[in-house]
Amino acid sequence: MARSAPLFICQACGAQTRQFFGRCHGCGAWNTLVEQSGPAADGRRRRAAPEGAPARTGAGEKVAQAPGRPRRSESILMAVERPLQRLPSGFAEFDRVLGGGLVPGALVLVGGDPGIGKSTLLLQSAQALAAITSVLYVSAEESAQQVRLRWSRLAPPDAGAAEQPVGADGAVPAGAGLQLLAETDLELVLQELEALRPAVAIIDSIQALHDDQLSSAPGSVAQVRECAGALQRLAKRQDTALLLVGHVTKEGMLAGPKVLEHLVDAVLTFEGDRFASHRLLRAVKNRFGATHELGLFEMRDRGLAEVTNPSELFLGHDGPAAGTATIVACEGTRSLVVELQALVSTTSYASPRRTATGIGINRLHQILAVLEKHMGLPLSRFDCYLAVAGGLDVEEPAADLGVAAAVVASYRDLTLPAGTVLVGELGLGGQLRPVGQLELRLQEAARLGFRRAVVPRGSGLGAIAAGLDLQLLEAATVAEALVAGLGFDPAAD
């Protein structure tokens, strides 16, 4: 009998090797290779020649054969198209990020920092879904009593009276509510899923499940891969929408092998400042909807609540001030009016200090260099601090013009006129470049009462802006844009 060959698997990325190394060749991490038993190598196995392969004569000429026939595949035109009925999650913001609701048979991975509210979000969604369909909540990290205690705090006051008992024959009547299973054994979880056949199942969390057939510890690469694969096969077979809670590493990445993110249909990240009450739900990957969608929630004493007007979170309420500017950022199909705050002061060091919160620091360095080169402002002798109100991270280049306006306003100790928004990408030559979804941005600005918008020239939205009662100020360069926004040339002494 062939002897089992040793196999070393990286616990960080899942790379495999037959020899032990101190450093993984896949991700470069140190001391992450763990030995596991691999299948025996047998060099005598050969792949059989496919049937219908063209035979050859002694002279090497091919003999004509009958055309091949499929065994299990079929024409794409013959595939049965079933109507797609999405399940509402109970949160309109959650449905927006999912693309309209939960798709039967889909796997959704929800990741986030510890204590950010992942379990709270899914337990509240499970309670709402249980009113219309069958839901199974698998808790692998908490006992049933702990989940019930948290559910009692989050559920409506009359939720306890709405519970329905299980029938005498053991069958669960329709609309009986939420089923709870506190278990970490993968086999028992699969048996419960096959017996109950719920429309929606929630696993909290995938790193806490373990397969007895593997010798590695729960949360390891092999355990996470095998548990997720088994759950995926079962969910696809019986059309169960599966929500998986995933841990994150200290670097902020989803824990476990990268194959886990490829395996699921959607990857959502739940993030937010632990010192603030609002939470952001983003779609990083979504096979059934748009990516980079954004949902906003607020953490309250009875759980999470939706934010109906998200721009209120990122706008100041004290009126215009020196060094502030307002932009319209886009997250997916959602427009957000955001306030930027800048502080420019004389430096006390040989090298000026530059700090940015919510904006990439390299982006800030580029904007400061453009302002100094093309407007003659000696910003290299000043410290510069930039922050986005509300703790939002703005990554798109459409915020460049707002950053430049906030920096110049702080440098000159000026206040931009009230009701002004700035949208535009700043090029290294000082020119303004067009941005996407400009019409959507203008509509959001007009809805919140803004009356002036500084945008790149050539937008072609003059008629639409007039219909929105919005004065459109177009500019070709950053100097023209700042003159239009401030009312005079900030580079003039």
**More confidently predicted of 74 and 420:** 420
Supply the pLDDT for residue 44. 47
Pairing mode, if any, of strands 382-388 and 334-346? antiparallel
**Mean predicted confidence (pLDDT) in 98-110:** 93
pLDDT at res. 37: 61
The per-residue pLDDT for range 259-316, each reduced to its tens digit, is: 788 899 999 999 887 677 889 899 989 999 888 788 999 998 889 999 888 877 787 6
- Residue 440 burial (CB < 10 Å; 0-12/13-18/19+)? middle
| Residue 195 exposure: Cα atoms within 13 Å on the Cβ side | 11
Question: How wide is the angle at C-alpha 304 spanned by C-alphas 302 and 310, nearest 5°?
Answer: 135
In tens, the pLDDT along 10-24 reads 877 778 888 888 898
For helices 478-486 and 400-412, angle between their N-to-C axes, nearest 10 degrees: 60
| Average pLDDT score over residue span 52-65 | 56
- Give this prediction's pTM: 0.76
What pLDDT is stored for residue 2 in this prediction?
Answer: 52
What is the average per-residue pLDDT within 395-411?
Answer: 94
Confidence tier at 64 by pLDDT (50, 70, 90):
low
Give the pLDDT mean for 125-144: 93
